[in-house]
Each structure stands twice: as structure tokens, then as C-alpha cells.
Amino acid sequence: MNSAAESRIARAVAVPVILIGVWYAWTTLHPTPRTPTPGRVAAAAVDMIASGDLPLGVLQSVGRVFGGFALAAAIAIPLGLAMGTRRAIERNVDPLVESFRPIAAIAILPLAILWLGTGTAAAVTIVAYAAFFPIVINTVAGVKRVDSTLLRAAATMGVDRLTILRTVIVPGALPSIGVGLRIALGVAWTAIIAAELAVGAKAGGGGSGGVGQMMFVFYAYSIELNRIVVCMIAVGLVALLLDRMLRALNAWLMPWTH
Amino acid sequence: MIRGVAGAAIYFRTMAVFAAVWWLIAAWTGNAALLPSPLLVAKAIGELALDLELFKHAGISLARMLASLALAILLAVPLGILMGRVRIADDLLDPVVEILRPISGIAWIPLALFMFGIGNALPVFIMTYAAFFPIVLGTISGVRGVDRRLVNAARTMGVSHRAIVTTVVMPAAAPALLVAIRLGAASAWTAVVAAELIGAPSGLGYAIEWYRELLMTPQVMAFIAMVGVLGFLFDAALRSLSRRFTPWAPATA
């Protein structure tokens, strides 16, 4: 390893290390029984992982995210392809998409609870709603960005519509669809945490599980700040992993974009 | 987007079809607490607007939104310029940004409830946090996207570092910056309902939850519609601001 790389790494860890040092120093100088300290958070993390609570909660949330995400993709990609290829469909459907897009998924949560209860069905619906918009918008944009020369060439050669869709439009729109899916997965993860938190907060902590609800239980019932911080770190790590996963998937599916 | 009279006609036709389908399902359900008809929701909107309750909560949420966005801009834009221009600042601070960014604003709510309690500070903190990251990243990429030749030309002519930032970098990066602010605003508006639902005694999120507990679904839907209308108007306002202040920007996005 050369010294330039070493100094880059040194710079990269400098501020995080200083911040943790300040956190440690501050909590050592002003000790209170509840304030999270680096040591307590680490101990809580070990405890929560060993007991299986944290992995279970994370798995539950991730499972819901994938369920809702798959549902959203199954609806949004075909709809986006239809809107992108047929002007009439786009003109008629776009008002609905644009009208609902500014309504945050979490605002729909009370209705989802009313119609579907406080369990997984409501959570998956919220996730699907949140993930729907980035996918549909990026699919439409992707279809429109397909080189019209290719479309005309295919049409001239007498290729039928379905084959054009499969061999020209979908591969051409794929990079944009991939971006939409990546954004959607990030939004979906945020939405599930919000949904689980709000369900925990407003449904009396009734067991629907997930990391979000774990956090709320630690806040409202057992008052364990260290565990809340552990959950936050887990939320961040999962978000990072999901993003990396979709990036890798996009690169693997579309080597020509890299 | 809607363009012209024909566009507006299509918009209203689509929404009319949507309302008709909704009305049919509502009639079939026959339970106003479960699914009120569009008419009942319109009536609820009218009543809430008349006794000003709708505008009171909307005004509170909007004020929090403006405060958060202003705060996020004040923090993120200078930081983004610094990180975009100075290599060592980027090396030092980028890891912190990248560590915090995946932790969504909403995940801070339980901890923030301890730090700030229930009130104005909590939603403003959550929304500022949510708006901060898109703005800082957009500013960095905007500043980096500035044509190097312009900066070099100014430097050759002996323009001071500060003047380069204010007269060359800022105008060139302004379109990207305004897009970043729009993304930040959208992100903050997504967080407002969650933050108010759990941690504020007022605002749109609080009102939605209040009427949900009372099972007054028409009122719940009225406030949800308000969230959508305000979100749309806020974005439209930012877009027209961009057009006015950066007429040289490409007309995309």
C-alpha cells in the first residue's frame, strides 16, 4: 500500500473516530444512567444479536419490503411500458399518477390500517405504494429514451409489436428501470420503518413486529436508548446493503452501462 | 404534465372516472367509516375549510416545512460548496455523510423524541435531516460540474478565491443547486406526516391521526388530500422559482 492511499484512509476515518471520541468523552464526563455511550451501545448490540431479536426484526422488515417491492414492480413496470409506448394511455393515466405522487406513503397509513389492520398486509401495501412511483416514472422515462431509429428500423423490417417490445424497448429502457428500482427500494425501506414506527405508536404496540416497531417499543415501554441506537445503525446498514445489492444486480444485468 | 385546455380536460376526465369508480365502490361497501363516498369527503373538506381547521394545520405544517428547508439550505449549501471545492474537506467529511445518509430521518424519530420531546422541534429536526442529504450531495455534484475552464480563466485573471465562488461557481452551479433543493423539499415533505403523526401536537400528520382515532374517515381523507395538494404546490413554487432565477438552466426536470 502506498502512502497516498494510506493518507486517504487516515482522512476517511479521522472525523468518525474523533466524533466517537467526543461522544465517549462527553458521556464519561457527564454520566447519566440512560444516555447511550459507545460501550453501552456495543454491549446492547451484542446482546440483541445474540438473543436473535434484532436479526428477527430486521428479517421481518426486509421480508415486508421485498413483498411490497415485488408487488409494486409487478404493477409499475407493465404500466410504465404501456404509458411509455402508447401516448393515449399516458395522457389518461398520468393525471392519477401525478395526483397521488405528492401524497407520502405514511399519509396513506391510517387508511391502510383501517382497511387491512395493523399486520403485514397494511405494511406491504404501504411499501408497494411508496415503491410504485419511482418505478413507474423511471420506466416511462426509459421507454421514451429508446432510440427512435432502432424502433423505426425494427418496424421497417416487419418485426411485430410484441417482439419490438421484448427485443428493442425493454432492453433500451432497462438502465432507467434499474435506476427506478434502486430508488424505489430505498424509499420502500424508509416507508417500512415509518409504517412500523407509526403502527407501534398508534396501535398500542400490538404485535406486528419489525425493526421500526422494536424501536418504538424501546422508546415508549422499556426506555432503552442504547437499543434504539443499535436499531438505527441496523436500519442504516440494511439501507446500504439493499442499495449495494441493486447496484450489483444492475451491473450484472446491464454490463453495457458500466 | 398538464398542458393547455386539452390537457386540463383530460385531467378532469381521468379524475372524474376515478371519482365515479370510487363512488361505486363506496356505494357497494355502504359504510362511510370504512370508505366514504367522494361527496362525503368533499363535504368534509368544505366544512374543515370553513371553520379554518384545514388551513390551521396546513399552515403549521407549511411553516415547519419552510423553517426546516431554510435550515437545511443554510447548513448543506455552504458545506456542499466546501466539499465540492476543497479536496481535503471532502476526504474528511464524505465518510460522515455516507455513514449518516442511509439512516433515514424517520429512523431518528424515537431518539429525537427523547432529545426534543413532543412539539415543534421534533418535526423540524426530522425534516431538516431529511432535506439535508439531497441538498448537500446535489451541491457537491453541481459545484464539481462547473466548467473548469471558467474557473481557470478567472484564476488566470487574478480573481480572488472568494470572488470565484460567488461570481463563477455559484451561478454555474445554481441550476443543479435548485434541483437539489427541490429533491430536499420532497424528501422533507415525505417525512412531515410521519414526524407529526408520532411527535407533534398539531399539523397535518397529527390531524390525520386524530380523525383516524375518531373513525371520521371523510376528515382523514380531507387531510390526506391536503398533504398531496400542498406537496404539489410547494414543488410547483420551487420549479417556477428555478425558472425565474436561473433562466439559463436547461428546461429538463
CA distance B124 to B71: 9
Q: Which CATH code is given to the segment(s) A44-257?
A: 1.10.3720.10
The residues, ordered by sequence, that sit 6+ positions from A227 with a Cβ below 8 Å of its Cβ are: A44, A48, A214, A218
Nearest CA in chain A to B7: A91
Q: Is residue A206 within 8 angstroms of chain B, CB to CB?
A: no
Higher pLDDT, B122 or A31: B122
What's chain A's average pLDDT?
88
pTM of the model: 0.87
**pLDDT at res. A205:** 45
Across the interface, whether the CB atoms of B228 and A202 are under 8 A apart is answered no
Closest approach of A94 to chain B, Cα-based (Å): 7
Cα distances (angstroms) measured from residue B66 to each of A102, B177, B208, B253? 17, 17, 21, 22
Nearest CA in chain A to B204: A107
Whether the pLDDT of residue A255 is over 90: the answer is no
Residue A8: CA atoms inside 13 Å, Cβ hemisphere, count? Answer: 6
What is the torsion angle, in degrees rounded to the nearest 10, for the CA atoms of residue B24, residue B27, residue B32 and residue B34?
Answer: -60
Nearest CA in chain B to A117: B34
Across the interface, whether the CB atoms of B197 and A202 are under 8 A apart is answered yes
Query: Which residues of B fall within a CB distance of 8 Å from A240?
Result: 102
Across the interface, whether the CB atoms of B224 and A236 are under 8 A apart is answered no
Nearest CA in chain B to A104: B190
Query: Which residues of B fall within a CB distance of 8 Å from A197?
Result: 106, 109-110, 194, 198
CA distance A23 to A34: 14
Q: What residue has cell string 422488515? A: A61
Across the interface, whether the CB atoms of B114 and A225 are under 8 A apart is answered yes
Please give the full DSSP string across chain B, using - where no structure is assigned.
---HHHHHHHHHHHHHHHHHHHHHHHHHH--TTTS--HHHHHHHHHHHHHTTHHHHHHHHHHHHHHHHHHHHHHHHHHHHHHHHH-HHHHHHHHHHHHHHTTS-GGGGHHHHHHHH-SSSHHHHHHHHHHHHHHHHHHHHHHHHTS-HHHHHHHHHTT--HHHHIIIIIHHHHHHHHHHHHHHHHHHHHHHHHHHHHHH-SSSHHHHHHHHHHTT-HHHHHHHHHHHHHHHHHHHHHHHHHHHHH-TTS-S--
CA distance B157 to B151: 10
3-state DSSP assignment of residue A54: helix
Whether the pLDDT of residue B20 is over 80: the answer is yes
Higher pLDDT, A34 or A206: A34
Complex-level ipTM: 0.85
Dmax (CA) of chain B: 76
Whether the pLDDT of residue A78 is over 90: the answer is yes
For B44-89, write each residue's pLDDT tens digit.
999 999 999 999 999 999 999 999 999 999 999 999 999 998 889 9
Query: Which residues of A fall within a CB distance of 8 Å from B189?
Result: 102, 104
- Residue A158: which region, alpha, beta or left (left: phi > 0; alpha: psi -120 to 50)? left
Whether the pLDDT of residue A10 is over 90: the answer is no
* Residues of A (65-94) whose Cβ lies below 8 Å from B: 91-94
Q: What residue has cell string 422559482? A: B241
CA A225 centroid distance within chain:
25
Query: Which residues of A fall within a CB distance of 8 Å from B18?
Result: 96
Parse chain A into domains and list their residue ranges. Answer: 1-31, 44-257
Report the residue from B91, B107, B205 with minimal CB separation from A235: B107
Report which DSSP code applies to A210.
Answer: S
For B209-252, write each residue's pLDDT tens digit.
889 888 899 999 999 999 999 999 999 999 888 888 888 776 55
**pLDDT at res. B253:** 43
Query: Which residues of B fall within a CB distance of 8 Å from A201?
Result: 197-198
Q: Is residue A122 within 8 angstroms of chain B, CB to CB?
A: no
Closest approach of A234 to chain B, Cα-based (Å): 9
